[in-house]
Amino acid sequence: MEKHVYVSDIATHEGEEVLLRGWLYGKRSSGKLHFLQVRDGTGIIQCIVSKKDVPEAVFAAAAGVPQEAAVEVRGKVAKDPRSPLGFELHVNDFRVVQGEQGYPIQPKEHGVGFLQEQRHLWLRSARQRAILAVRHTIIKAIRDYFDERGYTLVDSPILTPAACEGTSTLFEVPYFDLGKAYLTQSGQLYGEAAAMAVGKAYVFGPTFRAEKSKTRRHLTEFWMVEPEVAWMDLEGAMDLAEDFLVEIVRRVLQKHERELGSVLERDVAALQNVQKPFPRITYTEAIESIQKTGHAVRWGDDLGGDEETILCKQFDRPVMVHRYPAEMKAFYFKKDPKDPKVALGVDVLAPEGYGEIIGGGQREDDYATLKAAIEQHKLPAEAFSWYLDLRKFGSVPHSGFGLGVERTVSWICGLHHVRETIPFPRMMERLTP
């Protein structure tokens, strides 16, 4: 194909005749002029088709071009200080490559249910495009953060023999003569094995939970990054989580301040607050502070969405809540030697009501204690024998955490619901498109 120019590179072609390829985003006409907004995935440019400059057939084609039709435009790049891009195209040739009338998404308010059914097309809107770009930057920042600090990426399996985060949210898959497999809820247990091999490991992949909750924070398929570090205690995991989040937010601000502000209408100042140190409070302190607002909650209760919202609104940056009642935590948590009622776990809650984005802590490293915990949680001993081996052959204190990518995107972009944070969301009531 003939080489074409991308909108993102247009500044380097000022005054030149170029070929652009893209889709018709919007159109406005005034008698002798058509103003075509053409998007190519890298940006949107205004293309001006003037009756006096083009053959009649070209002018007519521009008049009838359907929304989201694929188009080729040739023209001269000219400076335009009024446009956000700074440039426009004076068209001398224009061709519709393909496109029918009747694009389902119109420039008006559509209900979210309708837009979700049209997700394959909805992704083309400026807002969804901005979210995809921020998500990409977050994922890149996550990888760079660990890669630049000596971590090794270790992929954990998606088909697993047992639960990591409790048995209630497992997706079952038939597995040949071996019976059942389960889609992974977390790669943590494998991350622990990896940490003993490479010292600092991170697992990054899709995770699955048969969540029956229809909330703005739950998906059935989501991406999680899980660092796991040998010779690290709970304090170390909190230091890591704090430094990691500051860096991710900094990277997104550096790259996308414009999209966040003008496309997503995000309060950017709130993100600029995300600096060290983050407040650290115990679960017990958290309960007391929620009770002071008049909200009924007791020590031992889980912090649900409502409680998290109340709590995180009290701070202008993420808050770390540590030492939860051991009873409500997964089997692998180490108990606090100073107070065995609580587990050495931490949740990081994002501000502005977003709630938990990170969960993690210090792992039980003693063989007998862990074996007893597996029995107490009625987990199948055979499936965990390899995990117990890690406590037999060179067991060391170790910690890690999991950051949910979608909740992070939701918070950083300022979105109400996680359904817009992943290209094709999977929820209890949605499996298409």
Q: For binding to ligand 4AD (CB under 6 A), which residues are involved?
A: 164-165, 186, 188, 209, 211, 218-219, 222, 224, 226, 356-360, 400-402, 404, 406-407, 418
Among residues 20 and 312, whose Cβ is nearest to ligand 4AD? Answer: 312
Tell me which of ligand 4AD, Mg ion, none is bound by residue 235, counting a contact when its beta carbon lies within the kind-specific cut-off of 5 to 8 angstroms.
none
Work out how close the CB of 400 gets to ligand 4AD at its nearest, in angstroms, rounded to a whole number.
5
Work out how close the CB of 309 gets to Mg ion at its nearest, in angstroms, rounded to a whole number.
15
225 φ, ψ (degrees, to nearest 5): -110, 135
Work out how close the CB of 351 gets to Mg ion at its nearest, in angstroms, rounded to a whole number.
17
Question: Helix, strand, or coil here: 274?
Answer: coil
Cα–Cα distance, 305 to 215 (Å, whole number): 9
On whether the CB atoms of residues 329 and 342 are closer than 8 A, the answer is: no
- Of 359, 360, 361, 400, the one binding Mg ion (CB under 5 A) is 359
Among residues 8 and 168, whose Cβ is nearest to Mg ion? Answer: 168
Tell me which of Mg ion, ligand 4AD, none is bound by residue 358, counting a contact when its beta carbon lies within the kind-specific cut-off of 5 to 8 angstroms.
ligand 4AD
Strand bridging mode 70-79 / 335-336: unpaired
Work out how close the CB of 166 gets to ligand 4AD at its nearest, in angstroms, rounded to a whole number.
9
**Strand order across the beta sheet in which 172-175 lies:** 159-160, 179-183, 172-175
Site size toward Mg ion, by CB under 5 A: 1
Work out how close the CB of 217 gets to ligand 4AD at its nearest, in angstroms, rounded to a whole number.
6
- Note every long-range contact of 114-117, with CB atoms under 8 Å and residues 24 or more positions apart, other chains counting: 116/419, 116/425, 116/430, 117/432, 117/433
Among residues 75 and 402, whose Cβ is nearest to Mg ion? Answer: 402
Q: Tell me which residue of 377, 342, 383 sits closest to 361, measured CA to CA.
A: 342
Site membership for Mg ion, residue 402 (CB under 5 A): no
Which uninterrupted H or E stretch holds 90?
strand 87-98
Stretch that binds Mg ion, among 155-163, 217-225, 355-363, 418-426 (CB under 5 A): 355-363
Tell me which of ligand 4AD, Mg ion, none is bound by residue 334, counting a contact when its beta carbon lies within the kind-specific cut-off of 5 to 8 angstroms.
none
Cα–Cα distance, 48 to 223 (Å, whole number): 43
Among residues 74 and 209, whose Cβ is nearest to ligand 4AD? Answer: 209
Could you report how far apart the first and last alpha carbons of the chain are, in Å?
31
Among residues 75 and 359, whose Cβ is nearest to Mg ion? Answer: 359
